Amino acid sequence: MRTVEHFIGGNAAGGGSRQHDIWDPNIGEVQAKVSLGSRDELQKAVDAALAAQPAWAATNPQKRARIMFNYKALVESNMDELAALLSSEHGKVIADARGDVQRGLDVIEFACGIPHALKGEFTQGAGPGIDVYSMRQPLGIVAGITPFNFPAMIPMWMFGVAIACGNAFILKPSERDPSVPVRLAELMKESGLPDGILQVVHGDKQMVDAILDHDDIKAVSFVGSSDIAHYVYQRGTENGKRVQAMGGAKNHGIVMPDADLDQVVNDLAGAAFGSAGERCMALPVVVPVGTETADRLREKLIPAIDALRVGVSTDGEAHYGPVVTAEHKAKVEQWIQTGVDEGAELVLDGRGFKLQGHEKGFFIGPSLFDHVKPGMESYREEIFGPVLQMVRADNFEEALSLASNHQYGNGVAIFTRNGHAAREFASRVEVGMVGINVPIPVPVAYHSFGGWKRSAFGDTNQHGMEGVKFWTKVKTVTQRWPDGGGDGSNAFVIPTMG
């Protein structure tokens, strides 16, 4: 059986006696194993990074950008292989897997412009004969801990900018689908990146704690559940690291009475059920404003959801595939039962779905709840599956407060033809990313990604210029070139700029 090993110092590296199963979620069988490392494997990666990073940091930004250009071309030429590998371990359909890779490549494209992004500031004549300038320098060795749901996109969001800025990067991907992250690192070596600058170590909590505790790792980026994000942020910052930790979400879609409901239904079908709902930017809560809007929306939603095709990840006609593991399937189905127990109306029940010929696969049919109330636990918590909940609001202010008062503040969308309502909503809602007639408002790569409240811990967002800021430190230089002949009488006085 195939074993996925660590990628350390530019080569596959074994280590650690423990292993984790890699499942094929389409058939419910183990297809491979991944080696789980410990502090020993991490130390080998750190040693390789320490040896390689100074020369990489000294490489001029234009040469680093050229490697990013090479990498972009290599990933594009290997897109089919990467998408197939990703689908086989995650379960998302091929088209969705290609999108996973492409959204990561968008950030690699941004990183190709790193010479411009790293430019500092300069003031000539800040004082008599004095100039002041700033520069952005790499932190050194940094790390990323990434989730199962985007095994290509999120690693590239992190290491693309970090490496372009001159850092050495150690990636700890999810043990559920680790093959694509390793392949991405191999392609980076093929693009010309020196050994030791991008490495992959596998593991569970042992490896996470080793990363958070290691003195030579200066910054950590994390994406996962909110409880673990909070833990990573606390432990990392207590150890003096710079940390950004992105957590869970419960994104709302506000549907105003004037919205185009046919378009809303089409958007909701993809945003709520695409990738089996395993997205932090999914839209699992719809909030129609007014009884008439809610009733009309429900009438249109039921046949549209019924028409969704659930299939194996290689089925080109399928809208979504299986969830990632049997444990996650059971968890999602338990949340559906919780919603029923709490008194919500289960309009469509996806539990018990079986795909002919793949009865052992981890499939869940699409589910729809109506009359969900804000006090319900199933509303407060993230389900992370193909479940859409309808929470009815009487008016705009109530809809606004639902999104603003939720413990998560990752993304939100409003559907309306009214520009004033959209502008008011975008200005006032207490959520980090807002879509106006856009169901999944993931910003383009040259802007930044980040939520509020329990959706994000730390002060800096991912990718874009926020990413450049996170992966670098600022040094400011005040210089004076004297004409000569000074007697040094003012050597102990702080120079003023007046």
Residue 357 and residue 463 share a domain: no
pLDDT range class, residue 14, cuts 50, 70, 90: confident
What is the pLDDT, as a whole number, of residue 482? Answer: 83
Within 10 A of 32 (CB to CB), how many other CB atoms are there? 18
Give the closest residue to 154 by CA, choosing from 104, 94, 203: 104
pLDDT tens by residue, 64-83: 999 999 999 999 999 999 99
Domain count, the chain: 2
We report the CATH number of the domain holding residue 237 as: 3.40.605.10
Q: Is residue 86 within 8 Å of residue 102, measured between CB atoms?
A: no
C-alpha 470 chain-centroid distance: 15
Mean pLDDT of the chain: 95
What is the pLDDT, as a whole number, of residue 495? Answer: 64
Residue 373 and residue 418 share a domain: yes
Answer with the one of 436, 468, 490 that is the final residue of a domain. Answer: 436
pLDDT tens by residue, 415-437: 999 999 999 999 999 999 999 99
Count of alpha carbons within 13 Å of 55, Cβ hemisphere only? 10
Give the closest residue to 12 by CA, choosing from 186, 180, 188: 186
112 is catalytic: no
Residue 236 and residue 262 share a domain: no
Q: Does the residue 495 lie in any domain?
A: no
Q: Does the residue 300 lie in any domain?
A: yes
We report the CATH number of the domain holding residue 320 as: 3.40.309.10
Residue 427 and residue 472 share a domain: no
Residue 306 and residue 289 share a domain: yes
Stretch 154-180: mean pLDDT, rounded? Answer: 98
Farthest CA pair distance, the chain: 91
Range of the domain at 139: 2-247+455-477
pLDDT tens by residue, 248-277: 999 999 999 999 999 999 999 999 999 999
pLDDT at residue 174 tops 80: yes
Name which of 135-144, 387-396, 436-445 the model is least confident about. 436-445
Please tell me which residue in 261, 264, 280, 388 is annotated as part of the active site: 280
Q: pTM, whole model, 2 decimals?
A: 0.94
Residue 69 and residue 24 share a domain: yes
Q: Does the residue 331 lie in any domain?
A: yes
How would you class 113 by CB atoms within 10 Å of its CB: exposed for 0-12, middle for 13-18, buried for 19 or more? middle
Q: Does the residue 447 lie in any domain?
A: no
Residue 418 and residue 295 share a domain: yes
pLDDT at residue 498 tops 70: no
Question: Buried (b) or exposed (e) across 341-354, using 16+ Cβ within 10 A?
Answer: eeebebbbbbeebe
What is the pLDDT, as a whole number, of residue 16? Answer: 73
